[in-house]
Chains A and B, each alone.
Chain A
């Protein structure tokens, strides 16, 4: 569960103050997959990074599973990200010197409670990753990297999945498969999922769709 209470985010740009996210109050529930669409510079990424405990709001409160993250220290924020949040980022961001299998092992070393062996095998099958487990990121295609990044985000069993253009480097079939997985993970595994995208086709998988423009989030 993710809740924004009157949250704003402002940045200084010279003498000007830019309000990237205007006062926002909203609640996203468990088992929900949310889509946020909007033009570039509308504040989507700022919204997502605040939801992901990567930055704190200028005012207001953000609550992730009853934890008030707005006033947390950097260490506590990092802990919250590891425990509660699974990021699927635009750039795939894999560790270049670890093979696919080791990417998961690294997470397992840091977070003890990860996906069960059975669920892991099922996820790897769904994402067609079984054949590349011993390959380094430099040895696989862009689409494969993106699928590994998605699997990594789900592997730590996060309660909140945040995806920034998760299907950007995937073909249509793979993109639809990824959205199906996200839908399944949120609906059946008691998670909240937020997908920021330009791709309107993805909204059909989502329970609620929001539009963001000039820092204002509106239900569509």
Chain B
């Protein structure tokens, strides 16, 4: 560490350039990871808040709630805790703002409704609870909402915590309200039944229905996997790029120091000691670069508008930071192989 740190101190410009590259890579990496989490959250936030184990749908609905429709009685009291879910896409407007939303028809005390943050729950037909996202978009308590595909008006009586479902904000109403908008969702029908029961797999269902594990249901939400895979690939490529960039930088620096390494070897410094010098140096610059990248990310996130779907988790950032430092160390292995080949005899002439 002594040799590694002193070289960095005395060659500030050279090492600042490498650290600068690492800062940019880590900054991009952290922002991408935040974006990946944010987008993932946009899709699954509402579903996660159900804390459910499974969802029952029509077998031929391709795991899509809106395409599924069956008799409530087919699943009556089959599970420990269950609730019906009726869903319909609606475009709402309060005269100023317009938004694509999902209207959920739920029962009074349904566990599908997240925690309230303002107002009250719906008690009458056409009263709705809107999720927090709509509040941020400018919708207010008491707003009368007109709908693009119906003459019915909805009234916001409360706001719940943000509970996006497949990237759409959600309105919660009673079952009568959704039936007015979508007559096929009559009182005996439902799109899905959401289940809280650890032993859900052991329960039998009619042949036309299937129970799907919630995690699998989320994975099959439209666009969810494609989006995640794209961002994860970008993150993986960033790791590979950072290992390569650091590897090249350190390799060039090592080549410049071939003579010095040879002299040190002649004096009795072992390959192991010199490898530790390169590893320590890599660790120091990777740590500094990652920490600066992290600070920049935190500052940036404070200024990003709320519409940007970005969400940071300390655990994920820490893991990515550690992996970035680890891949930088892997990138330095080329330099270590070069050191092994340095002949002290040539270095001392």
Which residues of A are interface residues toward B (Cβ below 8 A)?
A: 49, 52, 54-55, 74-75, 78-83, 85, 87, 89-91, 93, 95-98, 102, 105-107, 109-111, 136, 152
A91 touches B3 (CB 8 A): no
* B69 shortest CB reach to chain A, Å: 75
A87 touches B267 (CB 8 A): yes
B270 touches A78 (CB 8 A): yes
Q: Name B340's closest neighbour in chain A (CB-CB).
A: A74
Q: Which of B6-14, B110-118, B232-240 touches A?
A: B6-14
B3 touches A54 (CB 8 A): no
A22 and B267 CA atoms in complex are apart in Å by 26
* B4 shortest CB reach to chain A, Å: 10
A97 and B260 CA atoms in complex are apart in Å by 11
* B299 shortest CB reach to chain A, Å: 33
B271 touches A75 (CB 8 A): yes
| B265 on interface, CB distance cutoff 8 Å | yes
| B269 on interface, CB distance cutoff 8 Å | yes
Given contacts A106-B2, A110-B273, contact A82 B267 (CB under 8 A): yes
Residues of chain B in range 312-349 having any CB-CB distance to chain A below 8 Å:
344-345, 347-349
Given contacts A54-B345, A93-B348, contact A102 B6 (CB under 8 A): yes
A102 and B10 CA atoms in complex are apart in Å by 13
Query: Which residues in B have their C-beta under 8 angstroms from that of A152?
Result: 267
A138 and B6 CA atoms in complex are apart in Å by 15
A95 touches B345 (CB 8 A): no
A98 touches B6 (CB 8 A): yes
* A99 shortest CB reach to chain B, Å: 9
Q: Name B8's closest neighbour in chain A (CB-CB).
A: A97
A173 and B349 CA atoms in complex are apart in Å by 27
* B266 shortest CB reach to chain A, Å: 6
A102 and B5 CA atoms in complex are apart in Å by 12
Given contacts A89-B348, A93-B263, contact A78 B268 (CB under 8 A): yes
A79 and B270 CA atoms in complex are apart in Å by 7
Query: Which residues in B have their C-beta under 8 angstroms from that of A74?
Result: 271
Given contacts A89-B348, A95-B264, contact A110 B269 (CB under 8 A): yes
Tell which of B2, B9, B347 touches A109, judged by Cβ atoms closer than 8 Å: B2
Q: Which 4 A-B pairs have the closest CB atoms?
A: A82-B268, A81-B268, A97-B10, A93-B263
User: Which of A91, A95, A105 has the most CB atoms of chain B within a 10 A radius of its CB?
Assistant: A95
Q: Name B7's closest neighbour in chain A (CB-CB).
A: A97
Q: Name A53's closest neighbour in chain B (CB-CB).
A: B268
Query: Which residues in B have their C-beta under 8 angstroms from that of A75?
Result: 270-272
Query: Which residues in B have their C-beta under 8 angstroms from that of A136?
Result: 10
A54 touches B273 (CB 8 A): no
A95 and B259 CA atoms in complex are apart in Å by 10
A91 touches B349 (CB 8 A): yes
B2 touches A105 (CB 8 A): yes
> Can you pick out 8 interface pairs between chain A and chain B where the beta carbons lie within 8 Å of each other?
A54-B348, A78-B271, A81-B267, A93-B266, A97-B7, A102-B2, A102-B6, A106-B2
B260 touches A79 (CB 8 A): no
Q: Name A77's closest neighbour in chain B (CB-CB).
A: B268
B348 touches A110 (CB 8 A): no
Query: Which residues in A have their C-beta under 8 angstroms from that of B11?
Result: 97
Query: Which residues in A have their C-beta under 8 angstroms from that of B264?
Result: 95
Query: Which residues in A have their C-beta under 8 angstroms from that of B271?
Result: 74-75, 78
